[in-house]
C-alpha cells in the first residue's frame, strides 16, 4: 500500500468521515477488490468478478461480523456526531472491537481472493 493510498483511505473511518455510514473496513475491502478486478483504462474490458466478489464479501461481512449490517453506527454502536461518544469510543473497548472488525474483514477478503486464485 502506498502512502497516498493509505491517506486516501483514512477518510473512510467512522463510517465515511465519522458519519456512521458504511463501515470503513467494508469500503477498504471493496477498494481492494476494485484494485484486483477493475480496469485501469477505458480501453480495457470490465471484469465482472468485482461485482461477484463484492456481493460475496458484503454478504459474509453482514453475516459474520455486522449482525446483518454494514453500517458503522450499527456495528460500533457510536453516534459519531456526539463528541462524548466519540471520545469514549477511542478510550474504550469499542475501539479494540473496531480493530477486530477490520481484521475479520481482511480475513474474509483474503479467503475470497484465495478462492478466486489471487
pLDDT bin (cut points 50, 70, 90) of residue 53 is very high
Give the CA distances from residue 118 to residues 50, 79, 90, 105, in Å, rounded to whole numbers and listed in that order.
13, 37, 35, 17
User: What is the Cα–Cα distance from 22 to 38, expressed in whole angstroms?
Assistant: 21
Q: Report whether 26 contacts 109 (CB < 8 A).
A: no
* Predicted local confidence at residue 22, as pLDDT: 95
pLDDT number for residue 84? 93
What does the pLDDT read at residue 41? 82
Q: For all residues of the chain together, what is the average pLDDT?
A: 90
Q: Which three cell numbers stand for residue 43?
A: 480501453
Per-residue pLDDT at 96: 86
pLDDT digits (tens, 9 = 90+) for 60-73: 999 999 999 999 99
Amino acid at each position: 500500500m502506498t502512502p497516498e493510498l493509505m491517506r486516501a483511505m483514512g477518510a473512510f473511518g467512522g463510517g465515511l468521515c465519522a458519519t456512521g455510514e458504511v463501515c470503513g473496513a467494508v469500503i477498504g475491502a471493496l477498494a481492494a477488490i476494485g484494485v484486483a478486478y477493475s480496469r485501469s483504462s477505458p480501453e480495457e474490458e470490465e471484469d465482472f468478478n468485482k461485482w461477484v466478489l463484492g456481493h460475496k464479501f458484503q454478504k459474509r461481512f453482514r453475516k459474520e461480523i455486522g449482525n446483518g449490517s454494514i453500517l458503522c453506527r450499527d456495528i460500533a454502536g457510536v453516534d459519531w456526531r456526539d463528541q462524548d461518544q466519540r471520545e469514549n469510543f477511542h478510550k474504550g473497548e469499542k475501539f479494540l472491537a473496531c480493530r477486530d472488525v477490520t481484521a475479520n474483514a481482511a480475513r474474509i477478503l483474503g479467503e475470497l481472493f484465495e478462492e478466486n486464485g489471487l
